[in-house]
Amino acid sequence: MAQVLADRRDVDFVLHEQLKVGELAKHELFAEFNKKTCDLIVSEARNLAVKEVLPLQKLADEEGVTFDNGNVITPDEFKKVYDLFNEGEWLAMPEDPEWGGQGMPRTLTMAAQEYFVAANFAFMMYPGLSHGAAKLVEEFGTDKLKDIFLKKMYQGVWSGTMCLTEPDAGTDVGALAATAVKNDDGTYSISGSKIFISSGEHDLCENIIHPVLARIEGAPEGTKGITLFLVPKLWVNDDGSLGENNDVVCTGIEEKMGIHGNSTCSLTFGGKGECKGYLLGDENKGMKAMFVMMNEARLLVGMQAHGCATASYLYALNYARERVQGKNLLQMFDKDAPNVPIIQHPDVRRMLITMKVYTEGMRSLLYYIANCEDVKVVTDSDDEKARMQGIIDVLIPIAKGYGTDRSFDVTNLGVQVYGGYGYIKEYPVEQLMRDCRITQIYEGTNGLQSMDLLGRKLGLNKGKAIMDLMGAVQQTIASAKENEATKEMAEKVEKSLNKLGEVAMHMGGIAMSPQVLEAFSLSYTFMEVCGDVVMAWMLLWRADVASKALEGAKKKDVAYYEGQLKSADFFTSTILPVTSGKMNVIKATNNAAVTISEDSFGGK
């Protein structure tokens, strides 16, 4: 069975032809990251992913992690690969070299990250969460905390987590019960329990650093009274040496549907009254600080789902080319006709092209968001920085919510292409589907992402952020309309974009009216249509670039470029019409979902 993770030709296309990442090297900050260097980095990431991380995937699923009296034991092979990953300095690729990073563009980071998470995202959650936790220290920690924690976290010597969820405070974080009391030495005594903590306990490194949300006694109720603390598993002395256990105890791990290789823990802080933490940021500003990590984590979750999807697609594609079953439909009445690979059957082609458009479109979207971060860094214009940030803010819930939904659909189709073999564990698509399912739930359920898009992002900066995004889409449409090969597709995308503008105005209006419940009952559908239009944008952009590259293209590239045109044609002709129907549903604003009585649901 071929070892496939991501289509390198497509990765290169997005980096160099669509986003032109090499142009970032014109700026002093990224001067060393020319095209040659970028290609070498992606190659090294792919080599490590294929040779070392991918072999852990099936092992992680079958052996998983074990719990023994407060300790979590990972498979023996994990430690070696974890150390190799850290030795290559892959954990903090885009961060400042002063703190253990490589200072590379985030666009390039996204390409390397794709190979790693596609190889085994359960394993990659250990370093992935460490990066997010370290970013909190960098953004909100004092100089003392940075000196003690930051480099060791970015280098993977110590790992990190994200401690929000409690038994009675899941999506409603403001209901948390964990408490904090200030001590005379400036630390805080932390007490409470957290659940569903990914990588909360393990044996891969010497210390685990927990960003913990808790409420200081006397603080306001709800999210306004939440504060963020940095709580190490082992106390860290001022000189950076490790001290005593800090009364952080793992009380159990979850048996899950997928991602068996990652420890999902229940943690008790201060069960003996001896847990201490450092204030991270300002008192009662914990949710605002935590959103720095949450937005990064939501983009990572989008990539995790995409990693499952792209691997499933490539496995299914290879299988369809090799699996011989049935005659070609045009020869079905010819008794002497040979059986053919199933890729020749129209319905299998329908599934494969559906998988293709979503994996390629999501790759472009995820890399584009990272590219917006790079533009923010290199531009001197405050207006451009604000424009990029606004676009990022609007796209995050789409990348996480819509992206994980469509990625799961892709893994589902991967199983279907394999048929009965896809449903058994001998083949990888079964695990990829199970692993992918969590991405629609954690880091804010996809329903919450749709509420964020409607309730916060639609009106962000008085609507300027979504208008800036639509302006970027319109630029691609204008370019594609000048190209005969993409003109008709561009007109279809433009029609959908204009209709989306009408729908956005409608949703914004009813969300601020007595019809607010109806508005939020349709927020998920609104996220879906926004996602469809963004996908259409990405695929049209790709087709516009590819059609222009076809002239004078090398023979080996012709089929690839033609495939980009077919992807955009398929999406704009078969999926956007369905999107238009969903927009009609939103504009009709049916109230059945919010007016049906609880008893009318039945079940009694």
User: Which one, of 48, 216, 204, lies nearest residue 119 by Cα?
Assistant: 48
Regarding whether 231 and 96 lie in a shared domain, the answer is: no
The residue written with tokens 């952020």 in the block is 465
Task: Please give the backbone phi and psi of residue 204, each rounded to the nearest 5 degrees, phi first.
Answer: -85, -20
- CB contact set of 471 (below 8 Å; sequence gap of 6+): none
Regarding whether 589 and 466 lie in a shared domain, the answer is: yes
Whole-number Å distance between alpha carbons of 270 and 179: 10
Q: Which two tokens stand for residue 285?
A: 């500003």
Regarding whether 117 and 15 lie in a shared domain, the answer is: yes
Number of H helices, E strands in the chain: 20, 14
CA-CA-CA-CA dihedral for 438, 442, 446, 451, to nearest 10 = 170
User: Which one, of 117, 61, 579, lies nearest residue 302 by Cα?
Assistant: 117
Residue type present at position 93? M
Q: What is the pLDDT of residues 329-348, one digit of tens each?
A: 999 899 999 999 999 999 99
Task: Please give the backbone phi and psi of residue 247, each rounded to the nearest 5 degrees, phi first.
Answer: 60, 40
Q: Which two tokens stand for residue 456?
A: 């916060």
Regarding whether 274 and 163 lie in a shared domain, the answer is: yes
CB-CB contact of 48 with 93 (8 Å): no
Regarding whether 163 and 148 lie in a shared domain, the answer is: no
Pick from 102, 127, 154: which residue ends a domain?
154
Between the CA of residue 598 and those of 126, 172, 439, 519, 592, what are the distances in Å? 42, 22, 29, 19, 12
Regarding whether 147 and 13 lie in a shared domain, the answer is: yes
Residue 278: which H helix or E strand, with range?
Answer: strand 276-279
Residue 231: which H helix or E strand, with range?
Answer: strand 227-232
- CB contact set of 157 (below 8 Å; sequence gap of 6+): 86, 205, 206, 207
* Bridge partners, 212 (sequence order): 163, 229
Regarding whether 41 and 26 lie in a shared domain, the answer is: yes
User: Which one, of 510, 513, 496, 515, lies nearest residue 571 by Cα?
Assistant: 496
- Is 272 within the bounds of a domain? yes
Whole-number Å distance between alpha carbons of 139 and 230: 13
Regarding whether 98 and 60 lie in a shared domain, the answer is: yes
- Is 124 within the bounds of a domain? yes
Q: What is the pLDDT of residues 465-479, one digit of tens each?
A: 999 999 999 999 999
* Bridge partners, 158 (sequence order): 207
Regarding whether 577 and 466 lie in a shared domain, the answer is: yes
Q: Which two tokens stand for residue 93?
A: 């690729």
Other Cβ atoms closer than 10 A to 582: 16
How many domains would you assign to the chain?
3
Regarding whether 557 and 496 lie in a shared domain, the answer is: yes
Q: What is the pLDDT of residues 143-177, one digit of tens each?
A: 999 999 999 999 999 999 999 999 887 777 778 99
Q: CATH number, domain at 93?
A: 1.10.540.10
CB-CB contact of 102 with 92 (8 Å): yes
CB-CB contact of 207 with 232 (8 Å): yes
Q: Where are any strands of DSSP class E within 131-216?
A: 158-160, 179-182, 188-198, 207-216
Sign of CA dihedral 114, 115, 119, 120: negative
Per-residue pLDDT at 289? 86
Counting as low any pLDDT under 70, the low residues of the chain are 1-3
Q: CATH number, domain at 263?
A: 2.40.110.20
Residue 242 lies in domain: 158-285
- Is 351 within the bounds of a domain? no
Regarding whether 195 and 142 lie in a shared domain, the answer is: no
* Bridge partners, 277 (sequence order): 188
Pick from 285, 304, 336: which residue ends a domain?
285
- Is 529 within the bounds of a domain? yes
CB-CB contact of 238 with 149 (8 Å): no
Other Cβ atoms closer than 10 A to 487: 11
Per-residue pLDDT at 2? 53
Regarding whether 215 and 96 lie in a shared domain, the answer is: no
Instruction: List residues with catalytic annotation.
Output: 443
- Is 17 within the bounds of a domain? yes
Q: Which two tokens stand for residue 195?
A: 């659940």
Per-residue pLDDT at 3? 61
What distance, in Å, lies between the first and last C-alpha atoms of the chain? Answer: 50
Whole-number Å distance between alpha carbons of 204 and 44: 23
Per-residue pLDDT at 174? 77
The residue written with tokens 């201490």 in the block is 276
- Is 324 within the bounds of a domain? no
- Is 441 within the bounds of a domain? no
Whole-number Å distance between alpha carbons of 40 and 9: 14
Per-residue pLDDT at 405? 98
- Is 357 within the bounds of a domain? no
The residue written with tokens 């899941």 in the block is 170
Pick from 252, 285, 318: which residue ends a domain?
285
| Start-end of H helices in 438-575 | 446-452, 464-481, 487-511, 516-521, 523-550, 555-570
